[in-house]
Amino acid sequence: MNLNKKLEGKQIRTSVPCRVDFGGTLDISTIYLPMSAQSPVTFNIALDLRTGVTLLPWQKGYVKVSSKGFEPAVFKKDEAPFHHPMGLMFAVAQYFDAGGVHIHIESASPPRSALGGSSAAAVAIVSAFCHLLGKKIDPSHMAWLAHYIEAGVAGVPCGMQDQLAAAFGGVNQWIWKMGKTGPGFRQKKIFECDADIEAFNSHILVAYCGIPHISKDINKQWIDSFLRGETRAVFEKIADLTKEFSLHIKKTNYRQAADLMNRETKLRLEMTPDVLDNTGKILFESAIGCNCGARFTGAGGGGCLWAVGETDAIVILKQKWQDILLTVEGAGILETKIDNKGIIIH
């Protein structure tokens, strides 16, 4: 289906937020289905470092994808390799049988920062094509479609939390379960009103460690150890900590939430010491010293860390983290806030 004529004289633009998280990996069905008796959950926060997608007309029969941090790529509609660095984006275009289109991606988050940017981009692209074709923009459907396309081309088990944060926005606990015909989820909003979300902003901090992030290796270690039966007890502890953390955030008990976060990070470090790089370990110890909690985002191994704590403690930690990151090229505090909106059609 050539879309160049349909796109002439107009632009289709969508955007979605990225996320920080607690209890990642539990969103992968390989993990959460065997743990179903425990009702595992993942907590995440959508951030206003949004990923935007614009659909533009292009040469008939070809698809172009461009994104900051990557070389632009053009392939014939049916010949795009899905193992390409932007293969997921080409796979989404292939799902819609799209040709004659240029998919341009703009992200406010650093590239390969472990903030769920590639999965968020897939949600934005799915939403853009659905809008162009006059289809309903249902957040659940957009998230599931993006997830299954990614799972199909990634070559490794994939989670669902990135897509849900992108589609729905806000601060949520996602409860993983088996639905009637396949894996499912239930959304549990942590805060009932926008004022509570706004107040939560002063209790969090996000830093970029300046190192490109590749999540497959660490995720693979976690999944393989779970499948071998070596770390199931650890993941049960992580599931419990995630539920407790969500509850303390809801009750605004930020000091207790910080302690729970540090316990979860230490469990991950025991399983995979390289989940924090050298800079990440320094930031983590600094957070503990300020009575804050800190953890990696996504599957760690570089990218971002985020922290939680009382407001005065976060102010002190921000200065300490800034001082630490001065010596790391490309690193720094990310000026970001919670985004209560998911998919936006511009």
CATH number at residue 38: 3.30.230.10
Which among 144, 214, 208 has a CA at the least distance from the CA of 174?
A: 144
Looking at the chain, the whole-number percentage of residues with pLDDT higher than 70 is 98
Number of domains in the chain: 2
Residue 119 Rama label (left phi>0; alpha psi -120 to 50; beta): alpha
Half-sphere exposure of 332 (CA within 13 A, CB side): 7
Residue 342: inside a domain, yes or no? no
Task: Please list the pLDDT of the chain residue by residue as tens digits (346 residues).
Answer: 999 999 998 889 999 999 999 999 999 999 999 999 999 999 999 999 999 999 999 999 999 999 988 899 999 999 999 999 999 999 999 999 999 999 999 999 987 799 999 999 999 999 999 999 999 999 999 999 999 999 999 988 999 999 999 999 999 999 999 999 999 999 999 998 999 999 999 999 999 998 765 665 899 999 999 999 999 999 999 999 999 999 999 999 999 999 999 999 999 999 999 999 999 999 999 999 999 999 999 989 889 999 999 999 999 999 999 999 999 999 999 999 999 999 999 9
Give φ, ψ of 284 to 5 degrees. Answer: -60, -50
Residue pair 165/17 in contact (Cβ under 8 Å)? The answer is yes
**Cα torsion through 100, 160, 246, 271, rounded to 10:** -120
C-alpha to C-alpha distance for 98 and 3, rounded to whole angstroms = 7
* 212 three-class SS: coil
- What pLDDT is stored for residue 197 in this prediction? 97
Together in a domain, 9 and 143: yes
CATH number at residue 273: 3.30.70.890
Give φ, ψ of 330 to 5 degrees. Answer: 80, -5
Which among 253, 249, 300 has a CA at the least distance from the CA of 273?
A: 300
Residue 344: inside a domain, yes or no? no
Together in a domain, 33 and 174: yes
Residue 340: inside a domain, yes or no? no
Residue 171: inside a domain, yes or no? yes
Together in a domain, 75 and 185: yes
Residue 343: inside a domain, yes or no? no
- What pLDDT is stored for residue 142 in this prediction? 99
Residue 199 Rama label (left phi>0; alpha psi -120 to 50; beta): alpha
Residue pair 87/125 in contact (Cβ under 8 Å)? The answer is no
pLDDT in tens, 25-70: 999 999 999 999 999 999 999 999 999 999 999 999 999 999 988 8
Domain that includes residue 272, residue range: 194-333
Paired tokens of 86: 């932007």
Together in a domain, 64 and 92: yes
Q: How many helices (H) and strands (E) does the chain have?
A: 12, 12
pLDDT in tens, 213-239: 566 589 999 999 999 999 999 999 999
Paired tokens of 170: 């806000």
Residue pair 211/82 in contact (Cβ under 8 Å)? The answer is no
Residue pair 107/121 in contact (Cβ under 8 Å)? The answer is yes
Together in a domain, 213 and 83: no
DSSP characters over 155-176:
SS---SHHHHHHHH-SEEEEEE
DSSP state of 338: B
C-alpha to C-alpha distance for 277 and 274, rounded to whole angstroms = 6
Last residue of a domain, one of 192, 214, 241: 192
DSSP state of 56: E
Residue 339: inside a domain, yes or no? no
Last residue of a domain, one of 192, 220, 240: 192
